[in-house]
Structure 1
């Protein structure tokens, strides 16, 4: 019989496989999962850790956990025809993709900050209104 954290992780994987949760979607919060499964905080944390280790989820500190862009090679023969199946096992491709998204977010934040600084330096009162 699977442990509660395994049940939670599998339920979330099934939601992803079925399309109920799509890549980039926020995963339910810890509080929501605790209520839904009647589980303790540590149990939910273990489930999320398992999903992250397997490449199904990524964390964005301060923002939460999100569905990773996973290759789903274990979902059936159709996945064998896609280039993602050549990626290393363990969600490495998903982790790289997540890091690339985080880098793109950081670059955008820097650009936004530069624009704010420039607006402040030029006295343009229109920025941020």
Structure 2
């Protein structure tokens, strides 16, 4: 989550806010820098790799006998949220899109931590 938040903050500083809705030459807070944009893509990729690795590991351990259904439900919700974000991506300015990502990342991380800690306590009782 911290890697993603760092990337979101750098994107907010580097890319103009209207760039997602209209082609423009607007200025951002620090001025567009292609090297910083590439670094943000690396941060987003690393954050996604970490997040996906943790989720897949949890699903495999929490549902060892029914992991196909667990992965199917995970892929379903991923597809639904991707479709929703695709729908608003050209209608909302970039700061609002980043705000949605931050607001949804906090409960997602909290829910993952609660589920992981709860299942690790259950595994220790066996």
Give the TM-score, by structure 1 length.
Answer: 0.31
Q: Which has the higher strand share?
A: 1
Give the TM-score, by structure 2 length.
Answer: 0.31
Q: Which has the higher helix share?
A: 2
